Amino acid sequence: MAKTRPPKKDLDSYTIRGTNKIVRVGDCVLMRPSETSKLPYVARIEKIEADNRNNIKVRVRWYYRPEESIGGRRQFHGAKELFLSDHYDVQSAHTIEGRCTVHSFKNYTKLENVGAEDYYCRFEYKAATGAFTPDRVAVYCKCEMPYNPDDLMVQCEGCKDWYHPACVSMTIEEAKKLEHFVCSECASDADVKTNENTFSASPVADSKLESKRQKR
């Protein structure tokens, strides 16, 4: 007669080995890669369970870094950007190295200080096809690229568009010293005086996010 497999027990939490840090279902974690030269993997815990020998496993949903996706890393991808994939897996809980936080894109741009464990996600990613959701996001500047929170941008008071300093023949140092800015198109408008207009902190805080001008 075949032996029945002992049932697994669902756990509410797990204490990371060698620490007093506790992780729970729904938490985002850093997981040890097989190669020490690689960055830690990032995943969201979907389930924690133990077998009759108290071997603890976690079911996770992986986040992909841009360079791990089919299209690779692009100019507008931030250093801390991740994609929430449809790739699920079961791993030993002992591979969890620590907790991290994956913010929404909007909340990430509001952080005053970005820590080593802070990441953000604005896309979901289908690992098999390379498709993204949403498949279009707002674009800015003459180069018509999505916003990268790592890059400084300046806003024109006239048209309210955002520009990379390099795209308007300006250095980063010059942009940081600016108190006022108008783009070349608006500078020719008699109602907008050159260099007498202020700009905001970042494109995400601006209503331009609702722009119809979008890009994948």
The per-residue pLDDT for range 44-65, each reduced to its tens digit, is 999 999 988 889 999 999 999 9
pLDDT score, position 2: 57
User: How many Å apart are CA 149 and CA 153, to the nearest integer?
Assistant: 9
Task: For residue 69, give every residue at least 6 positions away whose Cβ sits within 8 Å of its Cβ, in sequence order, or none.
Answer: 83, 125, 130
Q: Which residue has the higher pLDDT, 131 or 198?
A: 131
CATH number assigned to the domain comprising residue 76: 2.30.30.490
Please state whether the predicted TM-score (pTM) of the whole model is above 0.75: yes
Encoding tokens for residue 187? 């500078």
pLDDT score, position 53: 85
Q: pLDDT tens-digit profile of 113-145?
A: 999 999 999 999 999 999 999 988 999 999 999
Q: Are 103 and 164 found together in one domain?
A: no
Q: State the DSSP H helix or E strand holding residue 35, giving kind and residue range, or none if neither.
A: none
Q: Are 157 and 110 found together in one domain?
A: no
User: How many Å apart are CA 81 and CA 118, to the nearest integer?
Assistant: 10
pLDDT score, position 78: 96
The top-scoring range by mean pLDDT among 3-12, 67-76, 191-200 is 67-76
Q: Are 68 and 164 found together in one domain?
A: no
User: How many Å apart are CA 190 and CA 148, to the nearest integer?
Assistant: 32
61 DSSP β-pair partners: 44, 88
Q: Are 43 and 132 found together in one domain?
A: yes
pLDDT for residue 20 is more than 60 = yes
Q: Quick check: helix, strand or coil at residue 186?
A: helix
Q: Which among 3, 85, 13, 105 is positioned nearest to 43, based on CA atoms?
A: 85
Q: Are 175 and 74 found together in one domain?
A: no
Rounded to the nearest 10°, the torsion over CA 206, 210, 211, 213 is: 120
pLDDT for residue 90 is more than 60 = yes
Angle at 164 between CA 113 and CA 132, to 5 degrees: 75
Confidence grade of residue 189 (pLDDT, cut at 50, 70, 90): low
Q: Is residue 182 domain-resident?
A: yes
When mean pLDDT is compared across 8-12, 95-99, 185-189, 192-196, the lowest value belongs to: 192-196
Q: pLDDT tens-digit profile of 149-177?
A: 999 999 998 889 999 999 999 999 999 99
Q: Is residue 73 domain-resident?
A: yes
pLDDT score, position 63: 98
Strands 13-15 vs 22-24: parallel, antiparallel or unpaired: antiparallel
What is the residue type of 16? I
User: How many Å apart are CA 177 and CA 60, to the nearest integer?
Assistant: 45
Q: Are 112 and 84 found together in one domain?
A: yes
Q: Quick check: helix, strand or coil at residue 203?
A: helix
Q: Are 32 and 117 found together in one domain?
A: yes
User: How many Å apart are CA 105 and CA 204, to the nearest integer?
Assistant: 9
Average confidence score pLDDT of the chain: 87
When mean pLDDT is compared across 70-84, 107-121, 198-212, the lowest value belongs to: 198-212
Q: Are 124 and 168 found together in one domain?
A: no
How far is the CA of 18 from the CAs of 47, 97, 174, in angstroms?
21, 9, 48
For 50, the domain range is 9-137
Number of domains present in the structure of the chain: 2
Task: Tell me the Cα Rg of the chain.
Answer: 23
pLDDT over 70, % of the chain:
84
